[in-house]
Amino acid sequence: MGQQGLCSLMLRFNSYKRTNILQHLKMSHHRDAAAEVLLERKGCAGVITLNRPRFLNTLTLNMVQQIYAQLKKWEQDPETFLIIIKGVGEKAFCAGGDIRAVSEARNTNQEMLQVFFRDEYILNHAIDSCQKPYIALIHGITMGGGAGVSVHGHFRVATEKSVFAMPETAIGLFPDVGGGYFLPRLQGKLGYFLALTGFRLKGRDVYTAGIATHFVDFGKLGVLEEDLLALKSPSKENITDVLETYHAKSKIGQDKPFVLEEHMDKINSWFSANTVEQIVDNLQQDGSSFALEQLKVINKMSPTSLKITLRQLMEGSSKTLPEVLTMEYRLSQACVKGHDFGEGVRAVLIDKDHSPKWKPADLKEVTDEDLNDYFKSLGSNDLIF
């Protein structure tokens, strides 16, 4: 073969190699994206496994869309009798939505801001209305979007390592994914307290507060799942019996009082106020170490987020879940375009200096007129169920 022929052959080979490398990279990217969540039929159940342990199993848009599509298929499948959702790793069930990606999309992909929240809330509603028993194993960190894919289901199983919180007011958002529905329905004013302060419930307290329906020792969680998968054409009652059996055997933390028990009367009083300013005054006037500790926390939160959140829960207390999700979609679209969301993500997730510069910086500067803009209809862009 002459030099010219050899050169021609080498060019063709390099072109072939580049093409195959590109195809391989595309396939690898697809596999990586698909591997963010595992969707498997096991025994009598459909099993959803959140598979981003390095990122605390935070939800991407791809994951939300895959889960929704599979959930609908399993709901219609006569051989699927229950649905289990869990997270990979011991650290987290799901720490929320991929907020960093949402923040980056503010400048690069405005459409993603609409699609992410819309599809996430549609999934939350689908879980609530699911015709098959839905069991969330909420071991480890369960926050924000993690609550959205668990609390609306029939059963939530906590362990001694569960950590629940709705910390959105610290990043210029509000406790969404139906938080406006389930938080005001917790005992007394507990939900208002959790929403405004981002207070973390741990272990058995997640069950006592009403977030979880059952409590099981972490060491027994794998065996519990095996027993659920082994059930033959189970009814909801059969599933309940298995969960109740494991719950009854768990003794961890059983003798400890609820972490907020001694403060609940005061929490109910402080957080019964109709304005955030009055809640702040209540805490100041009380002057106890616990009250001042909560005041210190609230003073670090976005003033706009605090006022949005209080109104969200007050209105949500008398709305249906679909109505709440419609309201929250309006709020999400206004918040993600505002100053405080970008600043909150910067301070907490990017620079991690935890010193956000809120605008407005004072509760008194957030007017009712400002709030009305957040709650107003989006017209044809509204999320309607």
Structure token pair of residue 126? 């689908």
Q: Are 42 and 78 in contact (CB under 8 A)?
A: no
Q: What letter represents residue 286's amino acid?
A: D
State yes or no: is 362 an active-site residue. Answer: no
Q: For tokens 């709901």, what's the residue?
A: 75
What HEC string does 233-281 produce?
A: CCCHHHHHHHHHHHHHHCCCCCCCCCCCHHHHHHHHHHCCCCCHHHHHH
Q: Which of 120, 176, 205, 343 is catalytic?
A: 176
Residue 150: count other Cβ atoms within 10 Å of its Cβ. Answer: 28
Q: Are 298 and 306 in contact (CB under 8 A)?
A: yes
CA distance 23 to 5: 27
Pairing verdict, β 163-165 and 201-202: antiparallel
Q: Which of 43, 97, 140, 144 is catalytic?
A: 97
Distances (CA, A) of 189 to 15, 87, 272, 279, 301: 66, 30, 7, 12, 19
Q: Which of 96, 145, 172, 191 is catalytic?
A: 145
State yes or no: is 119 an active-site residue. Answer: no
State yes or no: is 75 an active-site residue. Answer: no
Q: Which of 168, 225, 328, 340 is catalytic?
A: 168
Q: Which H or E element spans position 168?
A: none
State yes or no: is 36 an active-site residue. Answer: no
The catalytic residue positions are: 97, 145, 168, 176
